[in-house]
Amino acid sequence: MSLPPTFTTRPTVKAILGGTFNPPHKGHIEAALSAADELGVHEVHLMPCKLAPHKAVGVSETHRVRMIELCAQTNDRLIPELIELTLPSPSYTVKTLRALKENSDDTICFFIGADSLYNLDKWYEWEHLLDYCHLVVMRRDDEEFSPPCAIQAWLDTHVSDDKNVIHTEPAGRVVLTNTPLYNVSSTEIREVLASTTSADKGHVLEGSPAELWLENAVLEYINEHQLYKS
Ligand code: ATP
């Protein structure tokens, strides 16, 4: 059996959280930064995907990018990564990762939530993802981890118990982090925002999930542009 290639010098590790970010919320950010801390990585790149027209609920690509930029302006550990928006539609993560590797020698750590992992075998060419990256699964430490059988069998072959592997091998491993996954989704936030009436002047109720889970700058932007209103 051939051994995986190893580095002779320490590589640059690029952590990426891909998503629709429609809108980006603190659940994304806090979970990704916590996972990055666990791996000894400082920055996390937020990479919006292209949305099929029927899934582009509420906002244009420009608005999603602007909201990601606002998150990045409030936290210097966050960096927008917009490559996927420049690639042909539809977005496929494996193609995006391939394009990233063509442009740089960085080691890519692609972050996903455990919920996304459970559906990984539905992703286009999912078994090739690890040709280009390490997959970092943001797993909730207080919840049972029970992927479907096909995914579990794949994990058994690829999981590394040594988190340092992202600094010593260029790709090919899955690392499970114990990340607090926050009980919030963009869907829930969109629903709350859609239920605010024009009489509210676009302002969400105090203590609502939108106020709790959005960065202030993002909430202000949403109000200013009247996004997600039904
Ligand atoms: P939607 O509700 O529109 O489906 P979402 O809130 O699930 O959106 P996405 O942009 O689809 O957000 O998710 C991007 C990535 O972030 C995915 O890997 C997903 O598993 C992860 N993620 C989403 N919400 C959370 C959360 N609350 N905590 C940690 N990770 C999350």
**Which ipTM value was assigned to this complex?**
0.93
If you average pLDDT over residues 181-209, what whole number do you get? 76
Q: Are 227 and 63 in contact (CB under 8 A)?
A: yes
Contacts 24+ apart (CB under 8 A), 94-101: 94/123, 94/124, 94/125, 94/126, 94/128, 94/129, 94/132, 95/124, 96/18, 96/47, 96/49, 97/129, 97/132, 97/133, 98/131, 98/132, 100/14, 100/16, 100/132, 101/132
Residue 127 falls inside a structural domain: yes
Domain count, the chain: 1
CATH of the domain at 125: 3.40.50.620
For residue 1, report the distance from its CA to the centre of ligand 1, in Å: 38
2 CA → ligand 1 middle, Å: 37
Weakest mean pLDDT among 54-63, 178-187, 197-206: 197-206
pTM for this one? 0.90
pLDDT band at 190 (very low <50, low <70, confident <90, very high): very high
* Any domain includes 202: no
Query: Does ligand 1 come within 6 angstroms of the Cβ of 187?
Result: yes
CA of 27 to the centre of ligand 1 (A): 7
Q: Name the residue with higher pLDDT: 59 or 33.
A: 33
Q: 62 lies in which domain range?
A: 13-182
Residue with CA closest to ligand 1 atom 8? 186
Residue 163 lies in a domain: yes
Distances (CA, A) of 46 to 81, 114, 133, 169: 6, 17, 16, 23
Q: Is residue 44 part of a domain?
A: yes
Within-domain flag for 165: yes
Backbone angles phi, psi at 59, to 5 degrees: -140, 160
- For residue 32 and ligand 1, the question of a CB distance below 6 A is answered with no
Ligand 1 center from residue 85 Cα (angstroms): 18
Identify the band that residue 97 occupies on the pLDDT scale cut at 50, 70 and 90.
very high
119 lines ligand 1 (CB under 6 A): no
Q: Which atom of ligand 1 is nearest to the CA of 184?
A: 27
Mean of pLDDT values over 40-54: 88
Residue 35 lies in a domain: yes
Predicted pLDDT at 203: 58
Mean pLDDT to the nearest integer, 191-198: 79
116 lines ligand 1 (CB under 6 A): yes
